Amino acid sequence: MPKLIYTFFFLLSLAHAQNFSLKDTLRGALSTERIWFDVNYYHLSIELDVESKSIRAYNDIAFTVLEKAKLMQLDLFENLTIDSVVYNGLICDVTRKYNAFFIAFPVDFTVGSTESIRVYYHGQPIVANNAPWDGGFVWKKDSQGLPWIGVACQGLGASAWWPCKDHLSDEPDSMRITCSVPKELQFVGNGNLESTSFVGDLRVSTWKVSYPINTYNVTLNIANYSHLEDVYISDSDTLALDYYVLKGNEEIAEKQFQQVKPMLAIYENLFGPYPFWNDGYALVETSYLGMEHQSAIAYGNQYKPGYLGRYPGNMDFDFIVIHESGHEYWGNSVSMSDIADMWIHESFCTYTEALYVEQLYGYESMLTYLTYQKDFISGKSPILGVNGHNHKGNSIDMYYKGSWMLHSIRNTLNEDSLWFSILRDIAQDFAIQNCEGTEVIEYICRKSGVDLKPIFNQFLAYSDLPVLRYKFKNKRGNLSLWYKWEAVEDDFNMPIEINVGITKKFRIFPKSYYQSQELGNTDENDVEFSEELFLFEKKED
């Protein structure tokens, strides 16, 4: 098929030019076989075999035709077998290449038409080595010996277990997930439970998602669950709160999850109403630590405070509840278009932890919490990944360095009312849509009236922190401070706050060359740089 061959050679040359494999490029690039259609809807239907750790399933895919084409790329890991692809009663020809597959349609589509296909497949999906970081299916048993099954695939990709257009730029407008499990178990999915029936020894449940959802957020949770119900009331609106916990954990869960409603109130104050109101808010107990599965958050913090019992100072909130719920805004609602911009998800969400601390414990505790985060910054590689190649950046620094980047931007603006209005506006104006990092940065610059791009670029695109180089000169009892930025960005324009003794405080605005500031009759030991407000290194010459 000439067009397919052409595409492979084009992608292969692109991959070689950037030192990426064709496998990476097939997954990450918006090729001609991907851009001609827009996915509207998925209905994933799965029969799960616990004993063999296998699935037999099909996925109905509805899409709108944007351009004339006859060859479609979808994605499914090559360890899973595609049985057939059916369009309008016809079996389509399918060609596989690594984790991508190409469907040749027997007809010419009309631009603007809505079409649908069904993909039948089966196999044993990848088993997670260390979910959620090293993802895949999780096959565990609870204390009663009953199956306890989940899936987490943020880094791995949804196509590790179901066929889809596995590119973050294209989310379905809605979705259903149907799963058949042994009748003594329950399947909990995203959205709302639409129906349950019993077929022999099986319980068949369908969950409906009524909002767009990114593919890695689609999940299944299977266990012997108890269902706890509550509500969060905002003005005259009521949000359903659902907690699915292992039987026997009802009492401890009810106590632990009392922090959900105050958290939702804080987030609503900061960013606006919970974004997936009609689908409700749910926590689902999992055997792995956690994951931000939209409207079905995976919870595995073992009902401990902090991060599995570890937390700074007196900040004993449940980290997984707070962090993963923050992703309902940052990641699930405001979503990246390419995995290279995962900082949109993780930087904003990790910074949200600090804002939550500020609201709950006060400003000084927020600074303490940020200092705690700073210790995890690695500085080994850039936060930004490479677009078009399924390549994300530094998976540690997009959290902690990214959080400090936003804290530094806040203090650069030095006007909290403006800063918090910008955060809320981002959450609202980019709600339930995909965006690029450059769009978010341009938006912040426009809203603030300040060119913050050099600061964002320095922190995102380079591994090294900016270095404040400084020296003191004492002339006839008068001290002067000489200072400059040493940064990859020549026009790096972040200010620094200086304290002289306990009474004098002011800002300097370093550039790439030395400037000086007269400090008067004082000792250099009395001069302190406010390292709790900005992220930088300092070096005395």
Taking only the tens place, the pLDDT of each residue in 479-505 is 999 999 999 998 999 999 999 987 889
Mean pLDDT of 174-202: 96
Tokens 């359903």: give the residue.
240
- State the pLDDT at residue 315: 87
- The model's pTM is 0.94
User: What does the radius of gyration of the chain's CA atoms come to, in whole angstroms?
Assistant: 26
Cis, bond preceding 132 (omega within 30 deg of 0): yes
Structure tokens at 72: 């479609």
- The domains of the chain are located at 329-461, 467-540
pLDDT one-digit tens code per residue, 66-84: 999 989 999 999 999 999 9
- Residue 338 sits at the vertex; the CA angle it makes with 277 and 22, to the nearest 5 degrees, is 140
In Å, what is the CA distance from 163 to each residue of 82, 122, 160, 247, 514? 9, 11, 8, 33, 57
| Phi, psi dihedrals of residue 469, rounded to the nearest 5° | -95, 135
When the pLDDT of each residue in the chain is averaged and rounded to a whole number, the result is 94
Cis, bond preceding 212 (omega within 30 deg of 0): no
DSSP 128: P
Q: What residue type is assigned to position 20 of the chain? A: F
Beta carbons within 8 Å of 310's beta carbon, 6+ residues apart: none
- State the pLDDT at residue 476: 81
| Nearest Cα residue to 122 out of 89, 93, 84, 86 | 84
List b or e across 315-328, with b for residues whose CB sees 16 or more CB atoms inside 10 angstroms: bebbbbbbbbbbbb
Mean pLDDT of 506-518: 96
pLDDT one-digit tens code per residue, 122-163: 999 999 999 999 999 999 999 999 999 999 999 999 999 999
- State the pLDDT at residue 3: 40
Fold observed for domain 329-461: Neutral Protease; domain 2 (1.10.390)
Rounded Cα distance between 441 and 451, Å, is 9
Structure tokens at 443: 């938006």
Rounded Cα distance between 109 and 521, Å, is 80
Question: Which CATH architecture group holds 467-540?
Answer: Sandwich (2.60)
SS3 call for 485: strand
Mean pLDDT of 239-246: 98
